Amino acid sequence: MLRAFLRSKIHRATVTHVDIDYEGSLSLDEDLLAAAGLRPHERVEVWNVSNGERFSTYVLRGAKGSGEVKVFGAAGHKASVGDVVIVAAYGYMDEAGMEGFAPRIVLCGEGNRVVPGA
């Protein structure tokens, strides 16, 4: 049996742009994607720390080094510029895969930069 486990998390990123008229998704700085091991079009859960909203979407590759966290489409009704969010991705593992597994946790600092060693 496969079970769903947290695979990676981007913790406390700040929304930099919202556009409800854009075809829906979540654009993240390429540096954040790489640090979290996320791939474009991968499904993610987004938890808005600022207002309690939660939504599912997929990620797009944003400009490297830009610090961007852009929320598009219908999800734009659940976030505002300046909101703090958590982005989480899950993976499915069997019993053998769970042994010794630890998710990637990426902590964001000012400008949505990866906090080293966090």
Would you say the C-alpha torsion 18, 21, 25, 31 has a positive or negative sign?
negative
Q: Do 67 and 29 meet the contact criterion of CB atoms below 8 Å apart?
A: yes
80 as an active site residue: the answer is no
pLDDT per residue as tens digits for the range 55-95? 999 999 999 999 999 999 999 999 999 999 999 999 999 98
User: Which residue of the set 22, 58, 66, 90 is catalytic?
Assistant: 58
92 as an active site residue: the answer is no
Would you say the C-alpha torsion 12, 14, 25, 77 has a positive or negative sign?
positive
Q: Which domains does the chain have, with CATH numbers?
A: 3-112 (2.40.40.20)
When pLDDT is cut at 50, 70 and 90, the band that residue 27 belongs to is very high
Tell me what percent of the residues of the chain surpass a pLDDT of 70: 99
Query: Is 24 a residue whose pLDDT tops 80?
Result: no
Query: Is 54 a residue whose pLDDT tops 70?
Result: yes
pLDDT for the residue numbered 96: 86
Alpha helices in the chain, H assignment, sequence order:
30-36, 95-98
